[in-house]
């Protein structure tokens, strides 16, 4: 079991740029952000310089115009240098923190993928090898899990303490919600808003609520004399979760995270 989890974990390792080393591409990105955000400031300085130059060239004010021109040039140079230095350091810090946030988000998606892979293995009796997103997060896998996963069966756990799927999935859902909450709270200013929204949707996904109500669902089916099937007929909730994972994956790629297929 441990070897399976390790192997699956390796398949989902994503190459996140190091937070301690920034290459040429990252520096260029930071510079573009700096100059885009400071365009208003530089535009105002340009207007000021233009007015003073017109006054100087027209000969108005004599020495006063010359002094104003010299002062304006000095102000522009000083503001530019200080702004670039301060902004560069700030954006470099923001870039590193955003990469830390993305790495932690990737880690949570890895754990979710491990869970789905283990559920598929338990439900079908066979394991996918190697595990790929386009093979794992499919309607066929959702149907297999929902039709065949036994909540009382021993599970190849990601967390050691639970002994069956029902207990394990409840713990997994609670911890995943807690981890995503912690990431969003800690890195709120460094994660794009659209990515935060999708993380919130994933965190509140109906599939996780099914873990909470599974005991009451079982009780109601037992009262009706029906054989309990953990997620039978609830493939929709799995597909909702799968689709959210794909959307988040694309958003991470859009933000510069290199990820395999």
**Whole-number Å distance between alpha carbons of 174 and 38:** 43
Residues of the domain holding 27: 2-254
pLDDT of 159 > 80? The answer is no
pLDDT of residue 92: 78
Highest mean pLDDT among 61-65, 73-77, 78-82, 148-152: 148-152
Any idea how long the chain is? 261
pLDDT of 74 > 70? The answer is yes
Give the tens place of pLDDT for each residue, 193-249: 899 999 998 887 766 666 666 666 677 777 888 766 655 556 777 888 888 988 998
Q: Where are the alpha helices (DSSP H) in the chain?
A: 2-11, 24-37, 39-57, 63-124, 133-136, 139-148, 165-186, 193-203, 206-223, 235-254
pLDDT of residue 195: 92
Higher pLDDT, 184 or 4: 184
Q: Determine, yes or no, domain membership for 208.
A: yes
pLDDT of residue 80: 73
Query: Into how many domains does the chain fold?
Result: 1
Higher pLDDT, 103 or 258: 103
pLDDT of residue 157: 66
Q: Determine, yes or no, domain membership for 83.
A: yes
Q: Determine, yes or no, domain membership for 81.
A: yes
In this predicted structure, which of 136-140, 156-160, 202-206, 250-254 has the lowest mean pLDDT?
156-160
Mean pLDDT of 173-190: 90
pLDDT of 183 > 90? The answer is yes
pLDDT of residue 7: 42
pLDDT of residue 105: 92
How many Cβ atoms sit within 10 Å of the Cβ of residue 9? 17
Q: Determine, yes or no, domain membership for 132.
A: yes
Q: Where are the alpha helices (DSSP H) in 125-234?
A: 133-136, 139-148, 165-186, 193-203, 206-223
The partner residues of 154 in beta bridges, in order of sequence, read: 164
Mean pLDDT of 51-59: 73
Q: Determine, yes or no, domain membership for 123.
A: yes
CB 207 within 8 A of CB 237: yes
Torsion of CA 246, 252, 254, 255, to 10 degrees: 170
Higher pLDDT, 106 or 6: 106
pTM: 0.64
Q: Determine, yes or no, domain membership for 21.
A: yes
CB 134 within 8 A of CB 261: yes
Q: Determine, yes or no, domain membership for 193.
A: yes
pLDDT of residue 36: 62
**Whole-number Å distance between alpha carbons of 257 and 19:** 12
Q: Determine, yes or no, domain membership for 261.
A: no
Mean pLDDT of 148-156: 78
pLDDT of residue 184: 92
């Amino acid at each position: 079991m441990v070897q399976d989890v390790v192997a699956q974990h390796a398949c989902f390792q994503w190459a996140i740029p190091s937070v301690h080393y920034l290459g040429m591409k990252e520096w260029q990105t930071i510079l573009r952000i700096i100059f885009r955000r400071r365009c208003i400031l530089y535009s105002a300085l340009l207007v000021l310089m233009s007015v003073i130059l017109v006054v100087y060239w027209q000969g108005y004010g004599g020495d006063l115009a010359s002094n104003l021109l010299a002062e304006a040039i000095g102000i522009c140079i000083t503001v530019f240098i200080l702004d670039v230095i301060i902004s560069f350091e700030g954006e470099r810090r923001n870039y590193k923190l955003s990469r830390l946030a993305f790495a932690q988000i990737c880690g949570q998606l890895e754990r979710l993928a491990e869970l789905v892979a283990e559920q598929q293995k338990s439900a079908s009796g066979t394991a996918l090898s190697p595990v790929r997103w386009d093979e794992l997060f499919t309607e066929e896998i959702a149907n297999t899990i929902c039709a065949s996963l036994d909540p009382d069966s021993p599970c190849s756990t990601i967390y050691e303490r639970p002994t069956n799927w029902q207990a394990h999935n409840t713990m997994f859902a609670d911890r995943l919600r807690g981890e995503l909450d912690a990431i969003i709270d800690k890195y709120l200013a460094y994660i794009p808003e659209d990515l935060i929204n999708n993380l919130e949707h994933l965190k509140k996904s109906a599939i996780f609520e099914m873990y909470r109500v599974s005991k009451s669902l079982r009780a109601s089916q037992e009262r009706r004399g029906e054989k309990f099937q953990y997620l039978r007929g609830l493939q929709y909730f799995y597909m909702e979760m799968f689709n959210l994972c794909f959307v988040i994956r694309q958003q991470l790629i859009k933000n510069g995270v290199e990820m395999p297929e």
